[in-house]
Structure 1
Amino acid sequence: MSNAWKNPLGLFDVSGKVALITGASGAFGAVAARALAGAGCKLVLAAANEKALGEVAAECEKLGADVVTKAVRPTDETVCDGLADLAVERFGSLDILVVASGMNKVAKIDTLTPKDFDGVMEANVTQSWLLTRAATKKMKQQPTGGKIVLVSSARGLLGHPAGYTAYCASKAAVDGITKALGCELGEENITVNAIAPTVFRSPLTAWMFEEDDTAKGFRKGFIARVPKGRLGEPEDLIGPLLFLVSHASDFYTGHILYADGGYTAG
């Protein structure tokens, strides 16, 4: 009998695994850092905001995690390779990559500059590709392979009328990278998947959860399209993440997991 039948929850055990998380001081990155710290991972956390990064690292250490930080943006090959090297040098392997770094520039197409468009694509697409490339080189050398999780969005599937040209295009490209590398790396024991949230609570979306008329008006209109009838909370991202970085998802790759309360289903 398979051990999975005797201990199904063991499929989700990631204790002792080494995880590299970029954008670790941001909304999703901080959720990922805390969740994997609580699950027993060793962490390499990277973000440009050194102060905020230190605060997240301190929280993870309180949860019992071994943590090393690097205050950098994953903007080029040297930086990305250096982060992968740091994980192996410090902890001996690189088992999990979570790419939570990225940005948005909201503007209608006639006012969005080519520089702004390129900036969003570079942050969301190129950096995801460079980090995945760096991690893949390490994971291919390990008999255990690895787990790669990119951060997409419901906007990779759906358009938006409020000036999301660059963002929607970038997240659709992340979905394409996820699917292509899911195919390419399938026989390497490396899975590549993406989590695609809709609106969830974060410092950037805090106004949407307020009780003023503007926020209430937004929520009423948005929630009308969400079958679960609410906006997302950080905790809603923990389960999908643990699934995608653990053995529970060994047969899943090239998959976009929509953490959206059913928003993209209707």
Structure 2
Amino acid sequence: MDDATPDWLKNPARLFDIRGKVAVVTGASGAFGMLAVKVLAGAGAKLVLAAGNGKALDEAAAACNAMGAEVACVALRPNTEADCDTIIQTGIDAFGGVDILVVGSGMNDPCPIVDMPLERFESVMDGNVTGAWLICRAFGKHAIARGRGGKVVLVSSARGKLGHPAGYSAYCASKAATDGLTRALGCEWGKYGITVNAIAPTVFRSPLTAWMFEDNEKANGVRAGFLSRVPLGRLGEPEDLAGPLLFLVSRASDFHTGHTVYADGGYTAG
């Protein structure tokens, strides 16, 4: 290549380089959160891990340390304004600032709507929407004042687009709201160089879904019914989410914002 060739084209993999970036991950002890911290640690980021489960948080930190990552921990969920401010401030105090926010915290509580008490609905909405809104606001205040842009990744779901018959009225509504928050902040923060996107998985291998990967009558029946609607014909693996995550937190996605990226084997395409 001649001297006129852009540096990034000489080695396009550099577009995905996040070495030295500081990333806050909420829900760091959950299935997606744990995957996210390992991917970011392996890619060379400095990490602030936030979760309510102290033991699991220590395990996540140990896994990242073993990969050579610098880690700070805060045993908090993004439940209140004060908690969210503390989470972001932990990154500022430990590493001088925060470049990336991955909102991995969330919950589900399936129940038929006619049987679901209001407080259970509100709990799902608080865990999936209000907490995400609060931690995004705390990050946004810091990133805008800092003036160096930033990356935000929320966790949505195929259920933000599709319904489900098994009592998902709260969960589907919360994930549709997550998609709306992604679009709204993508528009609002574009002028600051902050991109906001969401990853929307379907079933992927985790401690909660491990039973669906087993070879027994129940698992085989459920899996067959589900896979009949997945064009790629298999359930998701952790690495299927790792690629989209690295893309969305890196320079490679600098012209992408307000999008929900479906990591679902084509499930929502049909």
Q: Indicate the larger mover: 188-197 or 143-152.
A: 143-152
Say whether 1:160 aligns with 2:160.
Answer: no
Q: 2:234 aligns with which of 230, 233, 238?
A: 230
Partner of 1:132: 136
Say whether 1:264 aligns with 2:268.
Answer: yes
Q: Could you list the per-position Cα deviations for residues 26-47 of structure 1 after superposition, in whole angstroms to 9, with x for gaps in the alignment?
A: 0000000000000000000011
User: What percentage of aligned pairs have identical amino acids?
Assistant: 63
Q: Could you list the per-position Cα deviations for residues 67-103 of structure 1 after superposition, in whole angstroms to 9, with x for gaps in the alignment?
A: 0111111100000011111101110110000000010
Distance in 2 of aligned mates of 1:218 and 1:49? 31
Q: 2:84 aligns with which of 80, 83, 101?
A: 80
Residues matched between the structures, number: 266
Q: 2:173 aligns with which of 129, 149, 169?
A: 169
Distance in 2 of aligned mates of 1:32 and 1:40? 12
Say whether 1:180 aligns with 2:184.
Answer: yes
**2:111/2:167 contact within 8 Å kept:** yes
Partner of 1:111: 115
Distance in 2 of aligned mates of 1:65 and 1:144? 23
The 5-angstrom pairing of residues 182-197 of structure 1 reads: 182-197=186-201
Distance in 2 of aligned mates of 1:72 and 1:181? 24
Distance in 2 of aligned mates of 1:70 and 1:119? 22
**2:101/2:152 contact within 8 Å kept:** yes
Q: Could you list the per-position Cα deviations for residues 115-155 of structure 1 after superposition, in whole angstroms to 9, with x for gaps in the alignment?
A: 00000000000000000000011111234210000000000
Partner of 1:204: 208
Q: Indicate the larger mover: 133-142 or 238-247.
A: 133-142
Partner of 1:246: 250
SS in 1 for 2:113: coil
Q: TM-score, normalising length from structure 1?
A: 0.99
Structure 2 residues not aligned, in runs of 5+: none
Partner of 1:4: 8
Distance in 1 of aligned mates of 2:100 and 2:138? 12
Structure 1 residues not aligned, in runs of 5+: none
Change beyond 3 A, Cα 1:6–1:142: farther
Partner of 2:19: 15
Root mean square deviation, CA, Å: 0.7
Q: 1:219 aligns with which of 215, 218, 223?
A: 223
In the TM superposition, what is the alpha-carbon distance from 1:112 to its structure 2 partner?
A: 1.0
Q: Indicate the larger mover: 134-143 or 246-255.
A: 134-143
